[in-house]
Chain A
Amino acid sequence: MEIKNYHKARSIDEAYQLLSSNPKNSVIGGGAWMKKSSPTIETLIDLKDLKLDQIIETESLIEIGAMVTLHQLETDQSIIKLGDGFVSQSLSEVLGVGFRNIATIGGSIVGRYAFSDIIPTLLTLPVHLVFYPAKEMTLEAFLNAKGKVDDILTHIVIKKIKGQGFFKKVAQSPLEFAILNVAIFKDDQAYKIAIGSRPSGAILAEEAMAYLNKQKVVNDEVVEQTANIVLETIKFGSNRVASEDYRKALAKAYVKRGIKEVTFK
């Protein structure tokens, strides 16, 4: 990695103009993975002084600045309350505190990391992203969009919603990437199921959710069938830490467990 210049932006517009002026310029979030991912950077643009490190809770929303660290988010009362703590739990399973005091929520989302522990839980919630200069989109739409991010993520907005959440990270040790992540959220209306580290990036299990949300009663048979649909419709793969078959076995077990937990807890 080579960084030729470092610039602390004085305004978000200045950061945007600088980012747009050269394709080799880059915005830094927490910088925790920068060593592993970045080639030569002409000018590294730091958003540190732009007051994007705040969490603002209103009656209906939680607005999170992109520079909020994962540990700051994990310990915030508004986040702890969401889904009975499942967002906070997923954050707490990202390496150690020393790492989570560096890594930011903005960097974690913009990186679209396939191994992310936080993206699956956020996918099950009503989350939209605010970019400068003028773009808003859902988290899901952002993850599905390909290519370089030209705008600057400034805020992550979560609509406050009552419900029960479940999160499971399966990894060989707490300091390793997940072999599989399962996040499930149930509110009054519906279930949402997200699978991450497949090893590809996290996605919603749309067909399984559609089947489950049509059912009048959730019993063992329905739970079994939902898990089967997850396996039939979501693509799993193999890598050096786990085979496709093992991931499928884990997904089946934890999808079933998660649905039961959010339904009957």
Chain B
Amino acid sequence: MKVAFILNGRNREFEVSPEEYLLETLRSHHITSVKNGCNESTCGVCTVLLDGKPVLSCSVLTARIEGQEVTTVEGIQKEVEHISDYFGDEGADQCGFCNSGLALTIHALKKEIKDPSEEDIKNYIVGNLCRCSGYQSQLKAIKRYLEDHK
């Protein structure tokens, strides 16, 4: 079946099977910033924005998103670069595998919650696992980024 949706601001059409997940569709078309981690709705590395909201692309059937808007880090490149600077300053980067999903979640958090508390931030990013950093430096970076971009 053919499914048309907006990917990072461009109209795209993909030939997919009814059981194909968005993660597979994106990665098989070279959008490899979207990572495949647990592939069972838990780790958050496959996060993309669907109509501006963070979702786990490993659990969204591509067939269902006809006409919707999908954003990956390529679609908000400038903001991701800013976020990366804060991560770099705080030493929050190690392998980087979780960064794309986390950056998209931070982008959504910034839009959804004005002036979030530390607890709000923790609750919002809890679904984005990092296997190496220990979260403290990430949390510092996110707090500083959100504070500076109110």
Contacts and interface: CB of A to CB of B under 8 A. Distances in A.
Interface string A29-51: 00111111000000010101000
Interface stretch (B6-14, B87-95, B120-128, B137-145): B120-128
A54 interface: no
Contacts, number: 80
B126 A174 contact: yes
B18 interface: yes
A95 interface: yes
Contact of A97 (B19, B50, B54): B54
Contacts of B84: none
B127 A175 contact: yes
B18 A98 contact: no
A257 B129 CA distance: 31
Contact of A1 (B19, B41, B47, B124): B19
Given A44-B18, A96-B127, A99-B41, A35 B55 contact: no
Nearest to B38: A175
Interface residues of B, number: 30
Interface residues of A, number: 28
Contacts of B50: 101
Nearest to B123: A92
B24 to A, nearest CB: 12
A32 B50 CA distance: 15
Interface string A76-101: 00000000000000001001111101
B127 A99 contact: yes
A6 interface: yes
A253 B109 CA distance: 35
B104 to A, nearest CB: 9
Contacts of B17: 3
A5 B19 CA distance: 8
B42 A95 contact: yes
Contacts of B1: 6
B146 interface: no
Interface in B42-88: 42, 44, 47, 50, 53-56, 59-61, 63-64, 66
Interface string A83-121: 000000000100111110110000000000000000000
B108 interface: yes
14 contacts: A3-B18, A3-B61, A31-B61, A34-B59, A71-B53, A92-B123, A95-B126, A96-B125, A98-B47, A98-B101, A98-B105, A99-B42, A102-B56, A102-B59
Interface of B: 1, 17-19, 40-42, 44, 47, 50, 53-56, 59-61, 63-64, 66, 101, 105, 108, 123-129
Report, nearest first, the 6 A-B pairs whose CB atoms are least far apart.
A96-B127, A6-B18, A3-B19, A3-B18, A6-B63, A98-B56
